[in-house]
Amino acid sequence: MSVQPSTPESTKRPAMTMHSLMKMYSEGEKITMLTAYDASFAAVADLAGVEIVLVGDSLGMVCQGHNSTLPVTLEAMRYHTECVARGLQKQNGRPIILGDMPFASYASPEQAFESASVLMKAGAHMVKLEGGAWLAPTVSYLVTRGIPVCGHLGLTPQSVNTLGGYRVQGRTDSGAEQLMQDALQLQHAGAQALVLEMVPAVLSAKITKALTSCATIGIGAGVDTAGQILVLHDMIGVTQGKVPKFAHNFMNESGTILGAMKAFVNAVKEKRFPVNELHAW
Ligand code: KIV
């Protein structure tokens, strides 16, 4: 008797590409992103239908036990990106792999290219950098050389020391205007996605509307961004210490990790997550 293996759910959807991601964006379908740092969780995120897996430098906190992302090395990011890529390869790799550029790895366009190449060779399809207009020449340098870029504005954890803590950004008129200008410049430089972290919901909605070729992905930024990202450990309830107010534990209503990830995907697609009141900063 032969036992037919059940078809993995991930094979029911085509592999994501930058092209299909931008198509989703232009058609207004909400984009889902979760962090993953190893092969197993990346594979579950794939089964849940997540479009982008972020190998975030948050691994410095949730995997390595540091109290900031600053100690994370490029070698650590390369290692975890490779683990995620291997896990997805087994399932024909449906999500886009987004590799986070660690602190001090992109101080110049040339250094950024060297660092991004390491992540791309490890399996990333796109890289993420934290910062505003000052990064525009770097973004353009990378995009011109074949490396898709995701920006990151608002609370940028690698700048925690200059920001004076993990705080909401863009609350003042000048701060809000600065974020808007930064977003426009990153888009102009060629960024195709932009994480907005801890930004007032009204402002992130305005930025999302102003951008035409760059998909905003919110975390603590309200429901009107083009997509949503959560840190895996926050959404399955294993984060030790302080959990951000905007995070939601999807395990409570789901019971399994796959169920929690599916619940996140469904809630984002149906605009039930996040609830804007939670982000009325
Ligand atoms: O490193 C990370 O997990 C991130 C997300 C919080 C967006 O940058």
- Divide the 281 residues of the chain into consecutive groups of 10 and give the mean pLDDT of each group: 44 88 98 98 96 98 96 98 95 91 98 98 98 98 98 97 93 97 98 98 97 98 97 94 90 95 98 76 56
234 CB near ligand 1 (under 6 Å): no
pLDDT value for 5? 39
Cα of 55 to ligand 1 centre, how many Å? Answer: 8
Residue 113 phi, psi dihedral angles, 5° rounding: -65, -45
For residue 127, give every residue at least 6 positions away whose Cβ sits within 8 Å of its Cβ, in sequence order, or none.
98, 99, 100, 101, 116, 119, 120, 142, 147, 148, 149, 150
- Taking the C-alpha atoms of residue 186 and residue 211, their distance in angstroms, rounded to an integer, is 10
Note if the bond before 148 is cis, omega within 30 degrees. Answer: no
pLDDT value for 4? 38
35 CB near ligand 1 (under 6 Å): yes
Pocket test for ligand 1, best of 35, 50, 64, 72 (most atoms within 8 A of CB): 35
Q: Do the bridges between strand 215-219 and strand 31-35 make them parallel or antiparallel, or are there none, so unpaired?
A: unpaired
- Taking the C-alpha atoms of residue 167 and residue 157, their distance in angstroms, rounded to an integer, is 10
Cα of 104 to ligand 1 centre, how many Å? Answer: 16
pLDDT value for 7? 46
Half-sphere exposure of 10 (CA within 13 A, CB side): 21
**Model pTM?**
0.95
Pocket test for ligand 1, best of 53, 101, 197 (most atoms within 8 A of CB): 197
For residue 65, give every residue at least 6 positions away whose Cβ sits within 8 Å of its Cβ, in sequence order, or none.
none
- Taking the C-alpha atoms of residue 116 and residue 118, their distance in angstroms, rounded to an integer, is 5
- Taking the C-alpha atoms of residue 6 and residue 246, their distance in angstroms, rounded to an integer, is 37
Nearest CA to ligand 1 atom 4: 56
- 51, 82, 130, 197: which is the annotated catalytic residue? 197
| Amino acid at the residue 115 | S
